[in-house]
Amino acid sequence: MTPWIVLATIVGYFVLLFIISWLASRKSDTNTALTGGRQAPWFIVAIAMIGAPISGVTFVSVPGQVAVKSFSYMQMVLGFAVGYFVIAYVLMPLFFKRNLVSIYGYLEERFGGKTHKTGAWFFFISKMLGAAVRFYVVCVTLQLLVFGPLHIPFIVNVVVTIALIFLYTLQGGVKTVIWTDTLKSFCLIMSVILCILFIAKGLGYGFGELCSAVAGDDTSRIFFFDNPKEGTYFWKQFIAGIFMVVATTGLDQDLMQRTLASKNVAESKKGLIVSGITQIFVVGLFLVLGTLLVLYTKQSGMAIPEKTDELFGQVAFSGGAIPIVVGVLFILGLVSAAYSAAGSALTALTTSFTVDILESDKKQDEPALARTRKMVHIAMAACMGLVILVFYAISNSDAISAVYTLASYTYGPILGLFAYGMMCKTPVRDRLVPVVCIAAPVLSYFIQLWLAKSYNYTLGFELLLLNAALTMLGLLLLRRKGN
């Protein structure tokens, strides 16, 4: 496939994005940019939330990791589904009752200003790093397929794509995010389904042979109960999945900004539960695709790449029995996942920084607040671009693991703060909370090293729980008398 076909696919998708952004941003003001106007229908929120957690990293990394980790990721996804029920019935009533624009406003009500700022800063670091890792993978892929063959430097690749994302999210804010995520979900699911069908056809499989081949291959193993020390052990992944989705979705302004745009708490619950259950089947499609990619490499004599994130792209552009349309679908799915996720993250970072850290909504009138939001939006876009360039120098072979490892360190204190706030009514020394939230990830890191060295125990995604528990322990030590 020539770079021009890839470029035409990207341009076509961006034209759709800008049309949707223009339609969504008509009669938009600062309130709709920050909250979406709280008029989004639950089924639109549900469709948007199906694709919202799926980024470009998921698109390339989940099928790729099947080659070495089989379907073990599904164990975590089953935990995600349970976590969505926790979010719907525990967190959403809390957020709607307080009519929050940013969910971290709860921390100020419960603890005080220092804790509020701490939670907002941890979200800022978490989302900026996570979004950069996800978008970095996409920029590298586009560099390989488009910008590299056209002799365009990587920095130009990053600047152009960040600028486009900045432009389509600038005016509409949350409302634009919801509708572009709806487009993303549709494109993503159709891309994966069609890729499965075309690759199965290239392998000579009908529907029955496809099911038999996937079920009979070693890479389709889902459950791992044999070794508790391994990171793929079922209970480690399942329990970590529950808390991971509570932390990275329920306590993440990026993903919660969609459900907070619902008309009321009952509508938000319906959207969350439907999207949580549907994601099991969507991720299942990615895993089936991963097995087919492995089968195709074996049949065609290709070697599985050392960096498994490259497996999908390698097969999609291999030619031979794979038609050119698979490459187009790969690009369509990749850019729809990546650009919508990056746009959503940029909008959430702008909202949180403006409301939680600068507190501009309390200090400024409507025109001044609108100007501040736009300036912050520019700064967030520039910061994201710089972080992507840093990741370019320290690339990772399994990006999905990198994302969740980062989340375990940075979302742990956020999870600990909210859990303590809801479970314990005793106030704490607000000014010392930042010390606890910094100490918890540092201690978690050294405990992880000690367990690996002393007991050969791999502390996987349950690292998040350890981090949150240390945060709660620190808050217990900061308890003070009073209301």
Q: pLDDT tens, 365-381?
A: 878 888 888 898 899 98
Helix axes 399-423, 56-69, angle to 10 degrees: 110
Contact 83, 276 (CB under 8 A): yes
Burial class (CB in 10 A: 0-12, 13-18, 19+), 315: buried
Cα–Cα nearest to 241, from 27, 68, 34, 82: 82
CA distances to 141, 341, 387 from 180, rounded to whole Å, are 22, 10, 24
DSSP code per residue over 184-197? HHHHHHHHHHHHHH
Region 27-36 average pLDDT: 49
% of the chain at pLDDT higher than 90: 14
398, part of any domain: yes
Res 406: pLDDT: 74
Res 443: pLDDT: 94
CA gap 281, 382 in Å, rounded: 36
Region 50-72 average pLDDT: 77
CA gap 286, 17 in Å, rounded: 24
Specify the residue for token string 């080659």.
Answer: 67
Contacts of 70 (CB under 8 A, 6+ apart): 218, 219, 220, 221, 222, 232
Of the listed ranges 136-150, 200-214, 238-252, 457-471, the least confidently predicted one is 136-150
Between residues 71 and 59, the one the model is more confident about: 71
pLDDT at 387 over 90: no
CATH number for the domain including 264? 1.20.1730.10
pLDDT tens readout for residues 72-130: 999 999 999 999 999 999 888 888 887 776 788 888 888 888 999 998 898 888 888 87
Which of 23-27, 166-170, 195-199, 346-350 holds the top average pLDDT? 195-199
Res 399: pLDDT: 53
Backbone phi and psi for residue 460, each to the nearest 5 degrees, phi listed first: -85, -135
Cross-strand bridge partners of residue 428: 479
Res 435: pLDDT: 95
pLDDT tens readout for residues 181-208: 777 777 778 888 888 888 888 888 888 8
460, part of any domain: no
pLDDT at 253 over 60: yes
CA gap 117, 81 in Å, rounded: 30
Provide the token pair at 448: 């992880």
Of the listed ranges 147-161, 280-294, 308-322, the least confidently predicted one is 308-322
Cross-strand bridge partners of residue 40: 262
Coil, helix or strand at residue 260: coil
Contact 141, 313 (CB under 8 A): yes
**What sign for the dihedral angle of Cα 57, 59, 65, 70?**
positive
436, part of any domain: no
Res 51: pLDDT: 65
Res 36: pLDDT: 47
CA gap 333, 25 in Å, rounded: 24
Helix axes 56-69, 265-300, angle to 10 degrees: 50
454, part of any domain: no
pLDDT band at 275 (very low <50, low <70, confident <90, very high): confident
Is the pTM here over 0.75, yes or no? no
Contact 50, 282 (CB under 8 A): yes
pLDDT band at 33 (very low <50, low <70, confident <90, very high): very low
478, part of any domain: no
Burial class (CB in 10 A: 0-12, 13-18, 19+), 483: exposed
pLDDT tens readout for residues 320-342: 667 777 777 777 777 777 776 77
Res 43: pLDDT: 72
Region 151-155 average pLDDT: 88
CA gap 302, 290 in Å, rounded: 15
Specify the DSSP element, H or E, that contains 295.
helix 265-300
CA gap 125, 414 in Å, rounded: 12
Res 291: pLDDT: 93
pLDDT at 294 over 70: yes
Res 442: pLDDT: 93
pLDDT at 157 over 70: yes
Total domains in the chain come to 1
Coil, helix or strand at residue 235: helix
Between residues 325 and 246, the one the model is more confident about: 246
CA gap 92, 81 in Å, rounded: 16
% of the chain at pLDDT higher than 70: 86
Between residues 313 and 460, the one the model is more confident about: 313
Specify the residue for token string 């910008």.
Answer: 147
Of the listed ranges 58-72, 215-229, 393-407, the least confidently predicted one is 393-407
Burial class (CB in 10 A: 0-12, 13-18, 19+), 20: middle
Coil, helix or strand at residue 482: coil
Coil, helix or strand at residue 428: strand
What's the whole-number average pLDDT of the chain?
81
Res 474: pLDDT: 94
162, part of any domain: yes
432, part of any domain: no
pLDDT tens readout for residues 419-478: 998 888 888 999 999 999 999 999 999 998 898 888 888 776 678 889 999 999 999 999
Chain centre distance of CA 150: 30
DSSP code per residue over 391-409? HHHT--S-HHHHHHHHHHH
Domain range for 276: 3-424
CA gap 23, 14 in Å, rounded: 14
pLDDT band at 410 (very low <50, low <70, confident <90, very high): confident
Backbone phi and psi for residue 357, each to the nearest 5 degrees, phi listed first: -90, -50
CA gap 62, 290 in Å, rounded: 7
